[in-house]
Amino acid sequence: MSRKKQWYSPALIGLGLIILMTFSGVAFAAPDFMPVSDIKAGMHGIGKTVVSGNAVEEFGVEVLGIMKNKGPAGDLILIRTYGDVIDRTGGIVQGMSGSPVYIDGKLVGAVAYGWALTDHKIGMVTPIADMLRLWDYLDRRNRPAAAPEPVNLADSDVNYQPEEGQKPADTDKDKGLKPIATPVMAAGLSQQALSFLAEKLKPFSLVPYTAGDMPPGLAASELKPGSAVGVELMRGDISLSAIGTVTYVEGDKILAFGHPFLKRGNTGYFLSDAYIFTTVKGLENGFKVGAVGDLLGVFNQDRGAGIAGQTGKYPSIVPLRATIRDNTLNKSREIAVQLVNDEQLTPILAATSVYNSIDQTMDRTGPGTARVSFEIAARGMPGETLKRENMFYSPANIGEMAIYELHEILAVLAGNQFNPVDIMDVKVDIELSEERRTASIMEARADAYAAKPGDTIEIAVKLKPFRGEPVTRVVNYTIPKEQAPGPLTLTVRGGGMVPLLQLLLERQGLDKDLLKGGKPKNKSFADIIKEFSERDRNNDIVVEVMKMEADELPGGDKPKAGKAPVEPEPKPSPRPATKAKTAAPLMEQLAEKKNETHKNHVATDYIIEGDTQVLINVEAVAKKEK
């Protein structure tokens, strides 16, 4: 069993940390700091980093000058590196971010920046004074807690929001200057899941690479200046982590990187020790290949001058467990992961975890049918528990289709504008089949074509399964008690078909947020959660009627059921339009009509396609004699 799979109780971890910090305090006395004002061109010093294993090695540093106000936190120190370590790596490589630099035994700062496609031996150092200020920021996200419960099923304040297109450590002062890239290592992901994740992480300027687990039998590494350190976004049966270098340690406090990771301010990343397999030279830039190990604490600050963390204190997490079964292969898989609690990253990481499990269970990419159910427990969410079941079919990639609603609702919860939500548990259960489980509606017949308000009629819906014999399902529909006498057209459709009202709204360019799954302005948080939970399922047969008269529709024409109305030729208005005729009130009127929709549904074993109509004559109810 690899070291990655060896877990210890919180008590043992705490004892180990006490011993480790005590040992560190004896062996590594705090160095003096050298301010930028004392640094001159021509000075020589040393840098420290790990290029293989966990042994810290030294390399030479020569100061070339001071670059005034070139960094996101202030001045930067221009250096040239040299020596055996640099010859072996080909220069400053990805993963060396945070490597401490000393002159005359005094800590100057951390190697952090360079230029692309130039001499890789030239770099920039973030002054230690700027990094020390990271400890002055308050941590409002992470309260003291024991280590998260270990997971291993494989063997059985508001965050900073980067503007669109902005890279985490972009500097306006020198567009050629780049932070030394931080490699993001993914362990346990299939190639398909890795590609899926890479696409989702593009807005964060992160590119994941495949990595392995920590070699077995290694003890926890000391976190000391020059050590490799891991920043984990996801851990457990799947891991996603960045690897950099420790700059400075003081008691249980740690500084690293010398530049931002994602520049998200007060954060809650997992802090782990790390192991470097090797360092690879590259034409554009070399990089360290490594793996993270034991959870040691939390990185709670991610800002311009670097990242700061604390051992023995742990972040709040989002635990996720998933069970995937493939009926075609008679194969199943269970996973458990812990995710960082982040408004934008949590939904992506959760969806990736489940998608990866689907891909590895099916061992293929292509068409299929999925039955998906999940349950989310969260503080701050109305009801605190949300359950959802649905069926999906995709002719191209059933894995991506199966995780659609899970990603959607987690994004809603994490990014809602009402109040913070603490997601405490996510359970997912998915059943897969290579079979196409779809059926088209052929016809629908009512057992009676005349009924009174309050009467229940049976509607027999004939379905044609894909490459199967026709089957019939019955939906009981109750005529609304307030229904006026006269013809009543009922729409019979699959739950995944777009209802008529949405077609009308979409055609008129109204309520776009609602059509895209967003929050209408007049909806509460509870309304949003309820609508998601009660949304029609793809395997439902839905029978519904909308109480809308012709003159209440945009354009004034009665529509044909299931089709958008034909827009009439424009006619001159005899008088100016009133406020009631403007777009916004019209949208509100239609939304109100949607709430008046009367519908019944029945679940089937097929994803229902198509629609049809049934006409019922509603008879008047005789008035009772006095």
The segments of the chain whose pLDDT lies below 50 read 1-28, 152-175, 510, 512, 514-520, 549-596, 625-626
pTM of full prediction above 0.85: no
- Phi, psi of 46, deg, nearest 5: -130, 155
Q: Give the residue among 436, 434, 443, 431 at the shortest CA–CA distance from 471.
A: 443
Query: What is the predicted pLDDT for the residue at 216?
Result: 78
Query: What is the predicted pLDDT for the residue at 597?
Result: 59
- Phi, psi of 594, deg, nearest 5: -60, -40
Distances from the Cα of 515 to the Cα of 519, 564, 594, angstroms:
10, 15, 13
Query: What is the predicted pLDDT for the residue at 28?
Result: 47
Domain 318-433 in CATH 1.10.3470? The answer is no
Q: Contact, 326 vs 360, CB < 8 A?
A: no
What are 321-353's pLDDT values in tens digits?
A: 999 999 999 999 999 999 999 999 999 999 999
Query: What is the predicted pLDDT for the residue at 209?
Result: 83
Query: What is the predicted pLDDT for the residue at 29?
Result: 53
Indicate the Cα dihedral angle 506, 508, 511, 513, nearest 10°.
50
Q: Give the residue among 397, 600, 614, 613 at the shortest CA–CA distance from 495.
A: 600
User: Which residues on neighbouring strands pair with residue 426, listed in sequence order?
Assistant: 320, 376
Return the domain boundaries, the chain.
1-314, 318-433, 438-562+583-618
**Strand 607-609 with 438-446, pairing:** parallel
DSSP class per residue in 172-183: TT-TTEEEPP--
